[in-house]
Amino acid sequence: MKDLLRLLDLTPEQLTKILDTADRLKSEQKAGKKHDFPAGKVLAMIFEKNSTRTRVSFETGIFQLGGTGIFLSAAQSQLGRGEPIEDTARVLSRYCDCIMIRTFAQEEVETLAKYASVPVINGLTDLWHPCQVLADLQTVREHKGKLEGLKACYIGDGNNMANSIIVGCLKAGMSVSIASPKAYSPSPLALDFAAGYGNKFHLTENPEEAAVGADVIFTDVWASMGQEDEKNEREKLFAGTYCVNDRIMSLAHPGCMVQHCLPAHRGEEITADIFEAHADEIFDEAENRLHAQKAVMYLLMKGEL
């Protein structure tokens, strides 16, 4: 495959190949071993949304692979003056070896990939967050030694994280339970995919029901970037119910992990005590953004995915 736009496009075998490559690159990096990757590759990074982890992990990752990352703020580039994304795609393809974009509309990423002649990576859209969930799966596998047969639970807004967790975890052989308010359910695209997995997928409005027997619990903020005007409305609906707390953890499997894509709002979607009790797992997850994304760049730019 040429691009990574959503986890729906990966086969289970390709998903495993990315995770195996991420583990290998992580081990090499920790050992100070040079990666087997052509020197001098250039990654263009387009940002229409603010970022900490996405920018730093991609820029560090391409540097560790022996290349260079170029940061492009959409507002400060010609995109901000109305240049069509298809023209930007063709120009950047003449200069760079890969393009990563972090934006709002999934359609923009897909148009970029259609017109680019180099690989395009979805660094986040409102619909999907594939790189984050690849890092999540890498982290769970590190801690649990496997993915097949585990139960994943997600509590909160049915957003890009929920959508990608559904697809990624089911493709990895896990069962998935999602607890979201009915008005904020995951995308029909993710739910249609999950329908093919029968009783391995469960959607509910009850977080306690979703948490029973979970091996890993995921959560995310109640209002994501671009939803700030909905913050008060969402708080009224989510508060006191859609929170990873002691009660939720007591229903999960003993030794249950917690994952949060960050930034975290302690006291809202997760209590401060639960966050700190699982901080090592959460910051392993944050670190693995670097290694998982290096694997994606490595495989796409070498034409091995």
Residue 233: predicted pLDDT: 85
Given a cut of 80, whether residue 273 has pLDDT beyond it is yes
Catalytic residue among 102, 141, 234, 278: 102
Is the residue at 32 inside a domain?
A: yes
167 or 224, which is more confident: 167
Mean pLDDT, rounded, for 180-186: 95
Alpha carbon of residue 38 to chain centroid: 26
Catalytic residue among 29, 132, 138, 293: 132
Closest of 243, 246, 247 to residue 265, by C-alpha:
243
Whether 160 and 192 map to the same domain: the answer is yes
**Catalytic residue, candidates 131, 289, 291, 293:** 289
Whether 225 shows a pLDDT value over 80: the answer reads no
What is the tally of structural domains in the chain?
A: 2
| pLDDT tens readout for residues 80-127 | 888 999 999 999 999 999 999 999 999 999 999 999 999 999 999 999
Active site residue 129: yes
The overall average pLDDT reported for the chain is: 96
Domain containing 90 equals: 7-129+289-301
Neighbours of 27 (CB within 10 A): 11
- Residue 60, burial from CB neighbour count under 10 angstroms (0-12, 13-18, 19+): middle
Measured CA to CA, the distance from residue 170 to residue 194 in angstroms comes to 8
Of the candidates 261, 284, 291, 293, the residue annotated as catalytic is: 261
For residues 86, 165, 242 and 219, what is the CA-based torsion angle, rounded to 10 degrees? -90
In whole angstroms, what is the distance from residue 151 CA to residue 212 CA?
9
Please tell me whether residues 33 and 111 are part of one structural domain. Answer: yes
- Residue length, the chain? 305
- What residue type is assigned to position 153 of the chain? C
Give the active site residue among 136, 157, 215, 220: 220
Q: Are 235 and 181 in contact (CB under 8 A)?
A: no
Q: Is residue 2 part of a domain?
A: no
Q: Is 261 a catalytic residue?
A: yes
Q: Is 278 a catalytic residue?
A: no
pLDDT recorded at residue 252 = 98
Q: Residue 224's pLDDT is what?
A: 74
Instruction: Judge if 163 and 271 occupy the same domain.
Output: yes
| Residue 227 · residue 126 · CB < 8 Å | no
Question: Is 256 an active-site residue?
Answer: no
Q: Which of 6, 53, 129, 260 is catalytic?
A: 129
Q: Is the residue at 1 inside a domain?
A: no
- Do 163 and 47 lie in one domain? The reply is no
189 Cβ contact partners less than 8 Å away, ≥ 6 residues apart? 8, 127, 163
Q: Is the pLDDT of residue 228 over 90?
A: no
**Which pLDDT band, with edges at 50, 70 and 90, does 226 fall under?**
low
CB 294 within 8 A of CB 18: no
**CA distance linking residue 49 with residue 53, whole number of Å:** 12
Note if 153 is an active site residue: no
Looking at per-residue confidence, does 149 or 76 come out higher?
A: 149
Decide: helix, strand or coil at residue 73.
strand
CATH of the domain at 121: 3.40.50.1370
To the query of whether residue 247 is one of the catalytic residues in this protein, the response is no
Weakest-pLDDT range from 49-58, 116-125, 224-233, 274-283: 224-233
- Shared domain check, 242 and 294: no
Whole-number percent of the chain with pLDDT over 70: 99
- My answer on whether 266 and 139 are in the same domain is yes
- Per-residue pLDDT of 7-43, as tens digits, reads 999 999 999 999 999 999 999 999 999 999 999 999 9
